[in-house]
């Protein structure tokens, strides 16, 4: 009988809550049971993990009774982010990797049937939550993510983020009694530590100076930007309401690191974050027929709405006309 523990995080609204993936191997009728308030996408990890381990040339303990618990049991879990920690837990419980070396690490990533790692949403929220936890506990926890997600997580200052392209890249770092597990891998390998990405030069926005005329409207935009006020523009179609609103972000001061991280974390939760928009104030323009749920957010699991996605940015809707 063997037991292993692997740490990850689940998204709950705008938070990334810690999750402990407990894997137990026992004698008995062969089975693979996954418990812990997991939705359909998480339960399907059984087949992805089984195929990924086998196709990576590793041994799947198909003659054992496998029980995977995602603790805490009352926290909803969704998506394929737990594929990688479940696979590592099975390999650790079966003795193929060193379970003790997994301490101080957190993992997230979806597995393909061949063992490649695919990105997951909310990577920036996970890194932010981990950074706050480490600051409060005076500890250092390293985060392993797939390509596309690791770059997001590396935006958090002082975060220790590692990018892995394949299940074997992760396994190679935690082999028992392996001297290579303590050495930094070459940049050409699938395992890479990412440097933190700092805010660059101020992004370019559409310039209000391009608008000819509209002196009263431009003056109203300047006053609203200076005082942090909301603004209501009413006029017939083609009068320039959208054109003016799209240039409102250019009047606001540059985002500081905290504002940029908060705005990017919300976009990451919705799967709409792009690295080229890092540090740029978001501009959201939902259709005038958007429902209350689309604007405010919600659902199960909860997703941010257009109002949240415009955090530290601009939200405008064209209604008049």
Q: Map out the domains of the chain with their CATH numbers.
A: 2-194 (3.30.230.10), 208-315 (3.40.50.300)
Digit-coded pLDDT (tens) for 24-70: 999 999 999 999 999 998 999 999 999 999 999 999 999 999 999 99
According to the model, what pLDDT value does residue 182 have?
52
* Mean pLDDT confidence for 168-187: 70
| 130 phi/psi in degrees, rounded to 5 | -65, -40
Rounded Cα distance, 191 and 195, in Å: 13
- Closest alpha carbon to 132 in 258, 279, 312, 266: 258
Rounded Cα distance, 314 and 66, in Å: 50
The structure's pTM equals 0.80
pLDDT at 187 over 60: no
Cα-atom radius of gyration of the chain, to the nearest Å?
23
User: Is there a contact between 275 and 238 (Cβ–Cβ < 8 Å)?
Assistant: no
The single residue listed with the structure tokens 């002082």 is 158
162 bridge partner residues: 144, 193
DSSP H or E stretch at residue 22: strand 15-26
Rounded Cα distance, 310 and 263, in Å: 8
Other C-beta atoms within 10 Å of 85: how many?
29
Confidence of residue 188 (pLDDT cuts 50, 70, 90): very low
pLDDT at 186 over 60: no
Alpha helices by DSSP H, listed for 158-207, are 167-171
Rounded Cα distance, 198 and 156, in Å: 9
SS3 readout for 55-121: HCCCCCCCCCEEEEEEECCCCCECCCCCHHHHHHHHHHHCCCCCHHHHCCEEECCEECCCCEEECCC
Rounded percentage of the chain residues whose pLDDT exceeds 70 = 93
Rounded Cα distance, 203 and 34, in Å: 46
Digit-coded pLDDT (tens) for 236-278: 888 888 888 888 888 888 888 888 888 888 888 888 888 777 8
Rounded Cα distance, 93 and 14, in Å: 32
Rounded Cα distance, 126 and 124, in Å: 5
* Mean pLDDT confidence for 170-188: 66
Dihedral sign from CA coordinates of 149, 152, 154, 157: negative
Digit-coded pLDDT (tens) for 194-243: 988 766 666 788 888 888 888 998 999 899 989 988 888 888 888 888 88
Counting every residue, how long is the chain? 321
Higher pLDDT, 152 or 21: 21
pLDDT at 112 over 70: yes
* Mean pLDDT confidence for 183-190: 56
In degrees to the nearest 10, what's the CA dihedral of 174, 80, 67, 88? 0
Give every CB contact of residue 74 below 8 A, 6+ residues apart in sequence.
Answer: 37
Segment among 78-87, 90-99, 155-164, 297-306 with least mean pLDDT = 297-306
User: Is there a contact between 53 and 94 (Cβ–Cβ < 8 Å)?
Assistant: no
Digit-coded pLDDT (tens) for 273-308: 887 778 888 888 888 888 888 888 877 667 788 888
């Amino acid at each position: 009988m063997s037991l292993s523990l692997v740490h990850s995080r689940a998204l709950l609204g705008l938070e990334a809550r810690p999750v402990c993936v407990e894997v137990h191997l026992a004698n008995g009728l062969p089975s693979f049971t996954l418990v812990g308030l997991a939705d359909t996408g998480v339960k399907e990890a059984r087949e992805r993990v089984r195929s990924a381990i086998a196709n990576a040339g590793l041994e799947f303990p198909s003659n054992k009774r496998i029980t995977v618990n995602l603790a805490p049991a009352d926290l909803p879990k969704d998506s394929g982010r737990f594929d990688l920690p479940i696979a590592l837990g099975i390999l650790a419980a079966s003795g193929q990797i060193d379970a003790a070396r997994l301490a101080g690490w957190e993992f997230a990533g979806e597995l393909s049937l061949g063992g490649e790692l695919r990105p997951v949403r909310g990577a920036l929220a996970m890194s932010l939550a981990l950074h706050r936890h480490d600051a409060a506990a005076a500890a250092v926890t390293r985060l392993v993510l797939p390509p596309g997600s690791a770059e997001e997580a590396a935006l958090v200052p002082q975060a220790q983020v590692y990018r892995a392209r394949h299940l074997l890249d992760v396994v190679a770092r935690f082999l028992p009694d392996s001297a290579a597990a303590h050495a930094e891998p070459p940049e050409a390998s699938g395992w890479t530590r990412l440097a933190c990405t700092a805010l660059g030069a101020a992004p370019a926005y559409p310039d209000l100076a391009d608008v000819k005329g509209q002196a009263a409207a431009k003056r109203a935009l300047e006053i609203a930007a200076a005082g942090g006020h909301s603004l209501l523009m009413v006029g017939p179609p083609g009068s320039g309401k959208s054109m003016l609103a799209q240039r409102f972000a250019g009047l606001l001061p540059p985002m500081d690191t905290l504002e940029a991280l908060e705005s990017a974390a919300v976009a990451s939760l919705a799967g709409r974050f792009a690295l080229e928009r890092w540090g740029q104030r978001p501009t959201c323009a939902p259709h005038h027929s958007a429902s209350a749920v689309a604007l405010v957010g919600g659902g199960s699991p909860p997703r941010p709405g257009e109002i949240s996605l415009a955090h530290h940015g601009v939200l405008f809707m064209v209604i008049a006309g």
